[in-house]
Amino acid sequence: MVSRRILLGALAGMAAPALAFAEGDGPAKPSVLTKKGRRTRSALSHQASDKAALDRAMASVKPMEAEPAHAPAAAHAPAQEVSPEEALGRLKHGNAIFARGGANLMLPTLARVAELSKGQKPFAVVIGCADSRTAPELIFDCNLGELFVVRVAGSTVGREGLGSIVYAVEHLGAPLIVVLGHTKCGAVGAAVDVAKKHSELHGALHEMVLPIIPAVLEADETHPADLQDAAIRRNVRDIAGRLKTADGVLAERIEEGRLKVVSACYDLATGVVSFDA
């Protein structure tokens, strides 16, 4: 049996390393290129009576970019300060859209890409599993520049991950951290096998599951019908709890009401994210 003390409190007391990111801190502005292009074409189509003149004029107009069939307000909203509660509401709303099959699947326009090169203002940090079926931008119906995502199998947070989170909160102003697990998580399943069946994993795989084992042991104490599922939920709650005191910047912002840390679980079968807050 693996000791309960293994990596318990692995996050506690860790100081964030000095970070030197290249990204700017300034807010991105909404794009106007597409609207301008459409307006120019519309005007020309009404005013030009000569086809040759129209062709010449059109040659000087930049190509239009495809617009999304529908663009949720959150998807391309100009960057602005949002409260932790507003940020949480956006994620819940985005997931509700995704889970009923109405997600916006259009890629961002090139103009939006160019605007984002000037800076980013993500409204939430999502700590997720590397599982290919759990991409946060998709399941929350978000787009480029909206989520700061840290993903490792099992949704665990090591020292580098913690530094990334602190950066997003302190330098980009993200008001919300979501620790997201998911049903049937293979990394948690592997941790269950190590803890309960004494299975052995080699090298880096072993190191990957070690941080999850305390959650498995805690969940096992409640004798759940499905230990893997209980451990998945216990794991994200534990990580969220430790994050609140893992760094002085995070603790201070929570105290000031400027930051919220919540855990959540994504159901692979239904597309629904259930939040613990």
Nearer to Zn ion, 127 or 185 (CB): 185
Subset of residues 57 to 116 that bind Zn ion, contact rule: CB under 5 A: none
Q: Applying CB under 5 A, which part among 29-37, 108-116, 121-129, 158-166 lies near Zn ion?
A: 121-129
Tell which one of 31, 87, 131, 143 touches Zn ion (CB under 5 A). Answer: 131
State in angstroms the smallest separation of the CB of 136 from Zn ion: 13
183 and 189 in contact (C-beta within 8 Å)? no
Nearer to Zn ion, 98 or 266 (CB): 266
Pairing, β 273-275 against β 260-266: antiparallel
Nearer to Zn ion, 131 or 238 (CB): 131
183 and 226 in contact (C-beta within 8 Å)? no
Radius of gyration of the chain (CA): 23
Subset of residues 172 to 211 that bind Zn ion, contact rule: CB under 5 A: 185, 187
Regarding 129 and contact with Zn ion (CB under 5 A), the answer is yes
CA-CA distance, 235 to 245, in Å (whole number)? 16
Contacts of 188 (CB under 8 A, 6+ apart): 154, 181, 212, 215, 216, 228, 231, 232, 235
State in angstroms the smallest separation of the CB of 128 from Zn ion: 8
Regarding 150 and contact with Zn ion (CB under 5 A), the answer is no
Nearer to Zn ion, 172 or 195 (CB): 195
Nearer to Zn ion, 131 or 247 (CB): 131
CA-CA distance, 37 to 64, in Å (whole number)? 6
State in angstroms the smallest separation of the CB of 108 from Zn ion: 27
- The DSSP annotation for 120-171 comes to ---SEEEEE---TT--HHHHTT--TTTEEEEE-TTS---HHHHHHHHHHHHT
Regarding 215 and contact with Zn ion (CB under 5 A), the answer is no
- Backbone phi, then psi, for 7, in 5-degree steps? 55, 15
Give me the residues that bind Zn ion (CB under 5 A), please. 129, 131, 185, 187
